[in-house]
Structures are given as structure tokens and as C-alpha cells.
Structure 1
Amino acid sequence: MKNTVVAKRYAEALYSVASERNQVDSVEKELGSILDVFNSHPELMNVLEHPGISIDAKKKQVAELFQGRVSDLVLNFLNLLFDRRRQDAIVEIGATYVELADAARGRIKAEVESAVQLSDEELNALKSKLGVNGKQVEFAAKVNPSLIGGLKVRIGDRVLDYSVTGQLERFRQTLKY
């Protein structure tokens, strides 16, 4: 991520204003819908990042797309990004904003990969194990048969690898030395 520092600064500023106005949840949803539009239409993002197109034309395009669909706060924020020539950081800003909102709510997002489909009971047990210090855990579970057995949990940058494949790989590494 080339814009990590920039994204953090802008996301923190937007979060600060949104929390003052009690609009944290609505801004998060609006940013999510904007990012969905950008992800489903990558050519739009190419136009918005194109250096040959004027800032005013880009701002007009964004206003036409999102006027009435998002709050004035979010629309003004997008215009600020264009004025500061930071439109290339929109995706990272959105992701960082969600992280800030989750941290304020005491929510952790985790990805769980398992060799077989986990039952609801197993997921609930895993949630209770990971949900320490009053944090609430949200899972995105998926099946990955290449793990052979066990599971892999990703929480932010941390990976907890309890898979058979991971254990075999660690064992192979110890045999090298």
C-alpha cells in the first residue's frame, strides 16, 4: 500500500468529523457503497486517477454519480481528496476508516480457513476463544481443502496457522537445519 500514511491521516480526519456528528455508521456504509461502485467499475477509477483529466471534471463526475446517494459530508470529503490530488488513496482510506470504526466499537474481523466446513457450534467456540478483552469477533469463514486438516485464522496482520499443511511445512524447515 503506497498510500498507507496518507490514508490513515485522511481516514482519521473523516472519522473525527463523523463521530462529532454521530454519523460514523452512515459514513461507513456510504464509503462502502462508493468503494463497491469503484470495484465493480474499474474504468471509473482509471478516469478519476487519470492525470490528463481536470480536477473540476472529476469532481463533476463524482457529484453526478453520488449526489443524493451519499451525505454532504462524504461528498465534500471526496471533493477535498480531489482538491488535494489524493483520489488515488480512496480505497485505502475506506479500508482504514472501517478499521477505525471497528476498533471504536470493540470489533475484530477475522478470516478463518479450514479444510472442511465448520459447524455453527465450532464457529461459536472459536469466537469465544478469540473474543477476549470484551472484543467482539466477526468471521469470514471459507473452506480450503489444501490445508489437509486444522485451520488458519487471520486477524489483521497476524496469522495463526493450526493446519496440518502448516505443521508439515514447519517440520520440513526444522529438518533443513
Structure 2
Amino acid sequence: MSELTTVARPYAKAAFEYAVEKSAIDQWADMLHFAGEVAKHEKLQALFTSNLGASQKADALIKICGEQLDTHGQNLIKVMAENERLPALPAVAELYAELRHEYAKEVEADVKSAVALSEDEQSKLSAALEKRLARKVKLKCSVDPSLISGTLVQVGDLVIDSSVKGQLGRMNQTLQS
């Protein structure tokens, strides 16, 4: 996957810089997300690695995406096809989303809790994370009963584990060492 990320980074950066210049950040995010999801399909991945010409590969993807891609989005697909980089399109969409969040000074926090968090708990957690990270935080909450109690918060590389399961695991490691 790291190879695809390396290949995708210049395309994501160029698309993002163009989107910022044209004040179309959200529009490009939607286009790239849609095209990236379409490109993940196994039949298209097989098409991308086939012996067809670059224009045929690009035309097939553009036709499938239809009106979801504007002229500039179609041009990106054509350039990527010419450089045999279409398999990296999902990674381009992911990297673009990261650049967008960085630009907006916002992060997405994955929050797992033993029970569903109330609106009040979510707003308090969001406020605490925003203060700690100095960024706007968007919570993505899910329930994981195996945590027993508490929460597990992941923001990028930062992990805050206040679950009973995590505390028991740390206690077990301490006792064994």
C-alpha cells in the first residue's frame, strides 16, 4: 500500500492545489471520492492492468463515473491513465481527503465505546479533543461491547485508551514483566 501512496501523493497534491485555487475543494473531494470508490471495483482494477490503451482505460472509467466528473476531473483521469496510475486512484482520494482536513484544520476521531455515547458526552469529548489537538474534531462513533466499559479514541497516530479492556491488558503486561 505504501507504494500506491507514494504514486498517489503528487496527483492528490496537484488536485488539491488546483481545487484551492479554484475554490472548489468540496467539489473535488466529492469527485475523487466517487471515482476512487468506483476504481476499487475488481473488474476495473483488472481493466487498469490489462493491455488496453490508456485512452480506452480512461474512457471506460469516465463513462462509468458519468456526470460525477467535471472536465477537469476527467483530465486528471486521462493523465493518470497515460502514466498507468489508475490503480492508485483510491489512494489519491484518501490523500486528498487528508489534505482537505489538514487545510480546514480538522481531524476525524474514531471513537469506540462500550455503550452508545449520548449527545452531551459526544460534545464534551469533542470539546476536550479540540482543546488538546488545537483542531476542529469530527467524531466517528461506534459501539464495541468487548471494551467492557470506557472509550477507545484514535486520531491518526494518537490513541487514547480509557477502556477497561485496555486497562486490564496493561495490568497483565505489568504483572508479567
TM-score (norm 2): 0.91
SS at the partner of 1:85?
coil
Cα offset for 1:134?
4.8
Which residue of structure 2 lines up, in the alignment, with residue 124 of structure 1? 123
Instruction: Output the CA distance in 2 between the equivalents of 1:66 and 1:82.
Output: 15
SS at the partner of 1:68?
helix
2:58–2:78 Cα contact (<8 Å) kept: yes
Letter in 1 for 2:30: K
C-alpha RMSD of the superposition: 1.6
Cα offset for 1:51?
3.2
SS at the partner of 2:108?
strand
Letter in 2 for 1:45: Q
Which residue of structure 2 lines up, in the alignment, with residue 38 of structure 1? 39
Question: What is the 5 A alignment of 1:112-151?
Answer: 112-132=111-131, 134-151=134-151
Question: What is the 5 A alignment of 1:36-115?
Answer: 36-39=37-40, 41-48=41-48, 50-115=49-114
Identical amino acids, percent of aligned pairs = 30
Cα distance change of structure 1 residues 142 and 36 upon mapping to structure 2, 3 Å threshold: same
Instruction: Output the CA distance in 2 between the equivalents of 1:145 and 1:126.
Output: 19
1:67–1:75 Cα contact (<8 Å) kept: no
Q: Does 2:162 match 1:162?
A: yes
Q: Deviations over 1:34-93 (max 9, x none)?
A: 223334x43223322x23333222012123223433111111111111111111211111
TM-score (norm 1): 0.91
Deviation beyond 4 Å, 4+ runs, structure 1? none
Letter in 2 for 1:83: E
Q: Does 2:18 match 1:26?
A: no
Instruction: Output the CA distance in 2 between the equivalents of 1:148 and 1:66.
Output: 44
Q: State which drifts further: 75-84 or 119-128.
A: 75-84
2:38–2:65 Cα contact (<8 Å) kept: no
Letter in 2 for 1:38: A
SS at the partner of 1:113?
strand
1:127–1:137 Cα contact (<8 Å) kept: yes
Unmatched 5+ residue regions in structure 1? none
SS at the partner of 1:31?
helix
Cα distance change of structure 1 residues 139 and 38 upon mapping to structure 2, 3 Å threshold: same
Unmatched 5+ residue regions in structure 2? none
Instruction: Output the CA distance in 2 between the equivalents of 1:120 and 1:68.
Output: 37
Q: State which drifts further: 150-159 or 132-141.
A: 132-141
Instruction: Output the CA distance in 2 between the equivalents of 1:30 and 1:56.
Output: 20
Q: Does 2:11 match 1:10?
A: yes
Instruction: Output the CA distance in 2 between the equivalents of 1:99 and 1:37.
Output: 19
Instruction: Output the CA distance in 2 between the equivalents of 1:127 and 1:153.
Output: 11
